[in-house]
Chain A
């Protein structure tokens, strides 16, 4: 079970990186970056999991019941917010790159022009 949980995180990281390296479209590249970032969610949540534990919400279970780690869940929330902001900025850059160069293919973007 450990191998599956942590392996998924590692796999997401590497496969997203592969997508970034071979990408032929800036929008596709940004989405690949979100795949890389989602590996951190899987890793954080896997680390915080305790077998047989409930969610850390004590509204309907008595306080002090066996619950999973609330700190990594809060960190994951931070992570999601940061991902959203990074994606928004990168997409804005893609919009401007398309305006300037007329293409979204990163291989066609030449550094010295205009």
Chain B
């Protein structure tokens, strides 16, 4: 199809779509006038029921815990799919470092960038652990903290080099974190069946609202997700960086 015909077809379809969207959105409640029954209910009962002060995390890991299980497995499956897509092909081979100690440095990294990124690695790991563990109390949780933790390794790549990053995140460990996190979430769910009679039901004591160890299984599920997300993202970045730096056609 010629470019002009394609654009014409799109403009016609987009105009129709815009009209449909405007029509549909005209029927939505006015901005700021939301009265969703479930949201109002959760805002009122979440602290009393689950002793969790962050309603979003409580929804994610308790009220809607089953959806999060699915979401976690979407991430898991897509990273497996990515590893399959970027596997070593017949016409490719991995290029070993020519000399021992040769490193794939990030091109264009100045001394200032290297120093700054390496200084930030430690604080970023602490921030990741803080966000992971305080998900039930303040904004955060396993997904956000997991990405932060994986980002610390990207800083190692920026400031140090790719092989340093790989040494800090051995493949086996990364895969173990990813698979263990996914399985851990499922096992905590099974714990709900054993101890409380329903899958993913919160079966631990709720503790005191506002304390670090409170809200029952919510922090545990959050940590499981954090391990899975960190592992998944590090695996994902390693696969892409492998393509750019290690794999050679030949």
Residues of A bordering B, CB below 8 Å = 1-2, 4-7, 9-10, 13-14, 17-18, 21-22, 46-52, 55-59, 63-65, 67-74, 77-78, 80-82, 84-86, 88-89, 91-93, 95-96, 99
Pairwise interchain contact A78-B86, C-beta atoms closer than 8 A:
no
A3 shortest CB reach to chain B, Å: 8
Closest chain-A Cβ to B86's Cβ sits at a distance in Å of: 5
In the complex, what residues of B have CB within 8 A of residue A46's CB? 31
Contact A14 B79 (CB under 8 A): no
Taking a contact as CB atoms under 8 Å apart, the answer to whether A5 and B55 are in contact is no
A82, chain B: closest CB distance, angstroms: 6
In the complex, number of A-B residue pairs with CB atoms less than 8 Å apart? 155
Decide yes or no whether B166 CB sits under 8 A from chain A: no
Bound-complex Cα distance A10 to B239 (A): 35
CB of B55 within 8 A of CB of A85, answer no
Closest-CB distance, B242 to chain A (whole angstroms): 10
A69→B63 CA distance, assembly (Å): 14
- How many positions in chain B have a CB within 8 Å of any CB in the partner chain? 57
* Extra A-B contacts (11), CB below 8 Å, given A5-B31, A22-B3, A70-B59: A13-B21, A17-B14, A48-B34, A50-B34, A51-B31, A51-B32, A56-B55, A58-B53, A71-B64, A89-B78, A91-B240
List of A residues within 8 angstroms of B10 by Cβ: 17-18, 21-22
Q: Is the CB of B75 within 8 A of A81?
A: yes
The answer to whether B56 touches A77 (Cβ under 8 A) is yes
Q: How far is the CA of A83 from the CA of B141 in the complex (A)?
A: 18
Which residue numbers of B lie inside 8 Å of A, CB to CB? Answer: 3, 6-7, 10, 14, 17-18, 21-22, 25, 28-34, 36, 38-39, 42-44, 46-48, 53-56, 58-60, 64, 67-68, 71, 74-75, 78-79, 81-82, 85-86, 89, 137-139, 141, 143, 210, 236, 239-240, 243, 249
Q: How far is the CB of A61 from chain B (nearest CB, A)?
A: 9
CA distance A70 to B38 in the complex (A): 9
Name 12 A/B residue pairs within 8 A (Cβ), A-sorted: A1-B32, A22-B6, A48-B36, A56-B55, A67-B55, A68-B39, A71-B36, A78-B68, A89-B85, A91-B240, A96-B85, A96-B86
Knowing A58-B47, A70-B55, A71-B59 touch, does A81 contact B36 (C-beta < 8 A)?
Answer: no
Please determine whether B78 and A88 come into contact, CB atoms closer than 8 angstroms.
yes
Partner of A73, one of B56, B68, B75: B56
Across the A-B interface, give the 5 residue pairs with the lowest CB-CB distance, nearest first.
A51-B32, A70-B55, A69-B39, A85-B78, A56-B55
Tell me if B85 and A93 are in contact (CB < 8 A). Answer: yes
Within the complex, the shortest CB–CB distance from A84 to chain B, in Å, comes to 8
Q: Is the CB of A58 within 8 A of B28?
A: no
Residues of A within 8 A of B249 (CB): 99
The answer to whether B82 touches A70, judged by C-beta atoms less than 8 angstroms apart, is no
- Which A residues are in CB contact (< 8 Å) with B56? 56-57, 70, 73-74, 77
